Structure 1
Amino acid sequence: MTGAPAYTVPDLLRIRAEQEPDGVAMIVDGHGAMTFAEWERRSALVAYGLTRRGVAPADRIGLLFGSRDWIDYAVAFCGVLKAGAVAVPLSDRLAPAETRYMLEHCAAVAVLHGRDLVAPPGGRWTAAPADLEAGSEAARGAGPGTGSAPAPPAEARVRPGDLAQILYTSGTTGRPKGVGASHANLAYGCVTRPNRRRFAHSRHLLHAFPIGTNAGQTMLLNALDARPAVLTPARFTPGRFARLIETYRPGTVFMVPSMAIELLNAGLPERHDMSSVLLLGSAAAALPPALSERLAAAFPNATLTNYYTSTEAAPAQTIMIYDRERPAALGRPAFGGALRVTDEAGNPLPPGEVGEIWMRSPTAPRSYYGDAAASAQAFRNGWVRMGDLGHVDAYGYLYLVDRESDVVKTGAFKVSTLQVEAALYEHPGVAEAAVFGVPHPVLGTALAAAIVPRAEGMSAAEVREFLRDRVAGHELPERVIVLDDLPRNRSGKVIKRELPALLGDSRLHTEGD
């Protein structure tokens, strides 16, 4: 991309609206669709309404929306950016205390919200996008539906280097951090030539990522940049997702592993036509090899692709097309990014040696908003510390060992919980699995496993016996609990820190030696 023009997000929308005014940008099943011309017009009205309310460039604006409000959210997001302000995406799945913390942390001056949602109190004004649009139309003398597209006020000049969004991390290992990204960062790799647009094999791109996540923001940019219309359900259920595949016949589908597990365990690929899917992408967490095999069988025409990145590192990423010769590999750097594995001092390690994973952004890097100390630890000279441990092979393919915080030191051994989880997924009766550490009087920490069975009747003893031939003695969980569900955050990642407390619940099936 060297020498390519730098765009802002409003640039991308303006260009697309000029090229394809009647093209469908986004569909929320059962709740409507939006063309590029509508997106451009409505977001311009929101931008004007924000400036009339006194919003200045660089002001932070919270955006609190649920999945049925993806269209209004997209309008609000681009409207905030057209006004020169900074968007702070927030999911309606957050607890009120979490939402308050994020709004206070970034000193948001206002909150735009979806239908039937109320922002937590905090001395800032709130509005729905439709309220701003109606007020702007009245102020400018434009009747509703006139098709006019008022330009952002002249003073709201937006530059590629300006801060565009603050996206809060999921907080699986601590308090959420606000990750700031510029327009140049968000728009990197986006194309404006119609014949070069991504996912050209598709008329529709289906996903169910929630608002307020890095994966969701990627889908929002896809709606601006990619060839297909972006389709999403108002709420994810495996049955609804399968019906959308059969009805719309999308060529491209994106999921997180937890969604894939639900879809497969419900037996839906056997009851619905999945043949239209040519690209099946998984993001947010690594796919266990056994799960990849099941997906490959369920989507016979699809290229199964795994994406590895983080809120901090994007758009740096590795991409891996599933390869039975390298079932656990996460791929190699893509789109101009770079990868390295280092020791604790930051020295690069040779292939095969386990160390800290770092990725380098191919464009303006992100940073933690309002936290210089944390930024200094995670962002160094264009490189981003992923917080994961892994290694590369002789061909440059990345292999993830574990989250640094999830590695369990039991006695003299360090155990990869991901490796034990991969073995658990080989059991035909295990639907989901998570391995974690618990205090032990002799070893310091011992392994425990939580499983969700695919059918009733599975015992903890059966699980441990299955593992005896598949993992080393120090990798065998001392305790196993059988659950109905694993605790997950809004991105679908398992919250392992909540699992130890469940071991004491007498209603659960547990067993040890």
Structure 2
Amino acid sequence: MVNLTVPQLLRDRASTEPDGVALIVHGSAPLTYLQWHEQAVAMAKGLVARGVTRGDRVGLVFGSADWADYAAAFCGVLAAGAVAVPLSDRLAPADLRFMLEHCRASGVVHAAGLTVPEIGWTATPAGLRAETSYEIVDPAPGDLAQILYTSGTTGRPKGVSATHANLAYGCGAKRRPFAHSKHLLHAFPIGTNAGQAMLINALDAHPAVVTLPRFTPGRFAALIESYRAGTVFLVPAMAIELLNAGVGDRHDLSSVLLLGSAAAPLPSAVAQALTAAFPNATITNYYTSTEAAPAQTVMMFDPDRPGSVGRAIAGGRVRVATEQGEPLPAGETGEVWMRSPAAPRAYYGDPENGTFRDGWVRMGDLGRIDADGYLYLVDREGDVVKSGAYKVSTIHVEEAVYQHPAVVEAAAFGVPHPVLGTVVAVAMATRAPLTPEELRIFLKDRLASHELPAHVTVVDALPRNNGGKVDKRALRRSVEGTP
């Protein structure tokens, strides 16, 4: 396969489909490929005029209403031979400063109206679009293109570096992805791996990519209906909101042929409910990580394989192994490792980190693979609850809790216990009153005694990070110390 760069992808699309619509932010004018290319080149020249050189890191701080400006700035940074560092406007100022200082950013491009740390120079997209005589030199496929920071759910965020060859892997084929759709709709935020995947889709896939400034179930469903979107991507939290709002009763969602869920496991009860709300859609769960992308497993919902996140696709590989990376037999639980068919990623400034080994990536999850090659996640390695002599899977507990008809969303986690060391706690949001004792009675035949939650907390909504993942550290802090 020919190695491409991101600027090449945009330049080729602008040449062959200049008036084709690449990106639509609802409420704003569509962005065509030619407009995208021209804006990116103008910004690249503006960056070079500011002294940005090959390999410099440039922070990009934007919100979901700014996807078009962000797309142009991202490609402009790469066209200048620099490295883009996508960052969300939702980040706490301390985290934003840490990330910019960690990657030694030379400057920051940000949406108008935002206040960003004084790291080098700062500029808005409009301030970079001045015409200059500087010549732009194409980066090479092996050049560093992006540093994307992890969500930090298990510790301090890490910067994951990716080359052009990694980002553009599989792109440029004659048959473009998602050819069944004229429009692809998503609501992933900037600064996440899922959001970056949608940016590459806007460059390479067949449909125009549609997004919106702020996700609400009603607005998202209305966009599906108005654009007759054939492909929809969301995270489980959004799926739960859509179902809880009953949007299938008020909107025609029949155009959706593929509904993809990413960023976290999709509970089987939620997947089952989605099949009713989206009558013509194949419900698909994608499993990957910022470190492993573009390697992934894909699972088309199968009620006979509840809990599976599928099999590796498109040349990637997955295995369950020991901590040292020795493969384990089918059915045995161990660490999940993935191998990308593309140029591998690495931690910026920490290339020797043990997460990356001989082309394989430790996912930080425990799981097992069945005889047919289907992967089942047991838990995040750090989330397993060690209660007395038992190890409890929080994913297994959550699957059982979701089966209760009153539960909207739930998370299981461990809290300290003076005798057992740790016990299971559950935080849940409900659509009808549900007492802790009623939940335990419901779970009695579904979970073993050591898996039953010792603490049950009812919340309005689960705390989540920018990527839509549940913040279990926040939940743990809220429960610790309670009787």
Match of 2:48 in 1: 51
Match of 1:274 in 2: 253
Q: 1:397 aligns with which of 374, 381, 398?
A: 374
Structure 2 distance, partners of 1:258, 1:504, is 25
SS at 2:318 equivalent: strand
Match of 1:128 in 2: 124
Q: Map of 1:20-39 to 2, 5 A cutoff?
A: 20-39=17-36
User: 2:473 aligned with 1:494, yes or no?
Assistant: no
Worse-matched range after superposition: 46-55 or 339-348: 339-348
1:192, CA displacement in angstroms? 4.3
The one-letter amino acid of 1:423's match is A
Match of 2:410 in 1: 433
Structure 2 distance, partners of 1:161, 1:346, is 27
TM-score by length of 1: 0.93
Q: 2:452 aligns with which of 453, 476, 501?
A: 476
Match of 1:160 in 2: 141
Equivalent residue pairs, number: 483
Structure 2 distance, partners of 1:175, 1:445, is 24
Match of 2:335 in 1: 356
TM-score by length of 2: 0.98
Q: Does structure 1 retain, via aligned residues, the 8 Å contact 2:40–2:76?
A: yes
The one-letter amino acid of 1:349's match is L
1:373, CA displacement in angstroms? 4.0
Structure 2 distance, partners of 1:160, 1:383, is 21
Match of 1:459 in 2: 435
SS at 1:391 equivalent: strand
Q: 1:408 aligns with which of 373, 381, 385?
A: 385
User: 2:220 aligned with 1:238, yes or no?
Assistant: no
- The structure-2 alpha-carbon separation of the partners of 1:192 and 1:131, relative to structure 1 and needing over 3 Å to count, comes to farther
SS at 1:442 equivalent: coil
Q: Map of 1:21-100 to 2, 5 A cutoff?
A: 21-100=18-97
Match of 1:422 in 2: 399
Gaps of 5+ in 1: 141-151, 507-511
Structure 2 distance, partners of 1:19, 1:198, is 17
Q: Does structure 2 retain, via aligned residues, the 8 Å contact 1:69–1:115?
A: no
Deviations 1:173-216 (A, max 9, x none): 000000000000000011243xx011111110000000000000
1:32, CA displacement in angstroms? 2.1
Structure 1 distance, partners of 2:138, 2:410, is 50
The one-letter amino acid of 1:502's match is S
1:344, CA displacement in angstroms? 2.5
What is the percentage of aligned positions where both structures have the same residue?
65
Structure 1 distance, partners of 2:479, 2:383, is 18
- Which portions of structure 1, spanning 4 or more consecutive aligned residues, are displaced by more than 6 angstroms? none
SS at 2:30 equivalent: strand
Q: Map of 1:232-381 to 2, 5 A cutoff?
A: 232-374=211-353, 377-381=354-358
- Over the residues paired in the alignment, what is the CA RMSD in angstroms? 1.2
Deviations 1:72-104 (A, max 9, x none): 000000000000000000000100101000000
Match of 1:509 in 2: none
Worse-matched range after superposition: 217-226 or 332-341: 332-341
1:31, CA displacement in angstroms? 2.0
Structure 2 distance, partners of 1:117, 1:409, is 44
- The structure-2 alpha-carbon separation of the partners of 1:504 and 1:393, relative to structure 1 and needing over 3 Å to count, comes to closer
User: 2:95 aligned with 1:101, yes or no?
Assistant: no
Structure 2 distance, partners of 1:199, 1:212, is 23
Q: Does structure 2 retain, via aligned residues, the 8 Å contact 1:15–1:192?
A: no
Match of 2:186 in 1: 207
Gaps of 5+ in 2: none
Structure 2 distance, partners of 1:422, 1:119, is 41
